[in-house]
Amino acid sequence: MPIKAYHKLVRDRIPEIIEADGKTCVFKTLSDEEYIYLLEQKLNEELAEYQESKSLEELADLLEVIHAVVKARGWTLKEFERVREDKAAKRGGFEKKILL
């Protein structure tokens, strides 16, 4: 059986899913520095996948990575949402579809 090397950040249950399929995998737990670096790469990857597919599933993946970045940087999702709400209150959202 051929060996595949991915060298990419994956969701937490992926090794379990691979092994449940009768395959084996090798993985490691990243340092905080490695984790943030690879999260930034994953953010770009998920954005590109959404831009290509325009699917709700890919948009959800992008939000999942954003949540992980927030937590990895030491912020809380509550802080993140507060900043988003404050900015929307001060500058507005994008609902009016305004092109300047």
End-to-end alpha carbon distance in the chain: 56
pTM for this predicted structure: 0.90
Q: Which pLDDT tens digits describe the chain residue by residue (100 residues)?
A: 788 889 999 999 999 999 999 999 999 999 999 999 999 999 999 999 999 999 999 999 999 999 999 999 999 999 999 999 999 999 999 999 999 9
Give the C-alpha separation, 4 to 1, whole Å: 10
